[in-house]
Amino acid sequence: MLLEVRLEKASKPEKWDLPEDISLRAAMERSLAEELSKLDGTLAVTKRSLLSTRPPKHEMFFTCGTTLKLVASLHRKLIAEKTKESTLREKLAVTPFTRMIIVFKYLDDDTLQAVDNAIKKVNLKALPDIQGSMRSYSLTQDEELSSLQGKMDCISGFMIIDDDQRMVVLEGLAGPGQGMQSVYADLPRIKANDDDLTILCNPEVLFPHRFV
């Protein structure tokens, strides 16, 4: 990044008297005039003496071509991937679960089907040998314990229904490659939340225990 800075005046001295003329432009033009002086000692006429008005501030030093160039570099602190992964593992070890809330119209069958498919996609991997419908399946005591301890990657939750809307609350394991990440990918927010569809989720909000 190259910065070009033009100064109008020199800085004010702190511990000595202020000279009568501290204009760097005027000093440089006087020096230029002295170099162009005739042998008889008379000063050559400079461009400054021909100007009837003071030039604008942004044109100061243009005639002398004086510029101050500064080279600036931008630095940022980089965190190694291993460090980030280690920090994430430490967080997930204490708070392994995250949640998602979807609110949509009662007659919105497309969203209902999408939610159902997203749940089945995860739970059928965790429970590949179940018999019957996933909706009617009840976890065994060992499976429930494994789910509560975060050892089994399954999606749990509940649905509240009234005459107008459905509200679905889902929860499961957080983190890369886990069930809730799959649900986030299958149920993306493609527009701003409104009365027809509201999706509330934040993968960085973690919980220590399953709610249901």
pLDDT in tens, 93-130: 999 999 999 999 999 999 999 999 999 999 999 998 87
Is 85 part of any domain?
no
Domain that holds residue 159: 95-201
- Indicate whether 88 belongs to any domain: no
Do 187 and 100 have their domain in common? yes
Confidence at residue 46, expressed as pLDDT on a 0 to 100 scale: 47
Is the domain of 144 the same as that of 59? no
Question: Which of 70-84, 86-100, 162-176, 182-196 is predicted with the least confidence, judged by mean pLDDT?
Answer: 70-84
Least confident of 5-14, 29-38, 107-116: 5-14
> What pLDDT is attached to residue 130?
79
State percent of the chain over pLDDT 70: 64
76 is a domain residue:
no
Q: What single-letter DSSP state applies at residue 139?
A: -
43 lies in a domain?
yes
Helix residue ranges, H only, the chain: 24-35, 47-50, 81-94, 109-126, 141-148, 179-186
**The pLDDT value given to residue 154:** 94
Into how many domains does the chain fold? 2
What average pLDDT score do residues 53-78 get? 54
Q: Are residues 67 and 123 in the same domain?
A: no
Claim: this prediction has a pTM higher than 0.75? no
Number of H helices, E strands in the chain: 6, 6
Sign of the four-CA dihedral 203, 208, 211, 212: positive
Residues 195, 146 share a domain: yes
Long-range contacts of 141-145 (CB under 8 A, 24+ apart): none
**Quick check: is 83 in a domain?**
no
* Residues 129 and 191 grouped into a single domain: yes
Q: Is residue 206 part of a domain?
A: no
Identity of the highest mean pLDDT range in 25-34, 85-94, 166-175? 166-175
80 domain-assigned: no
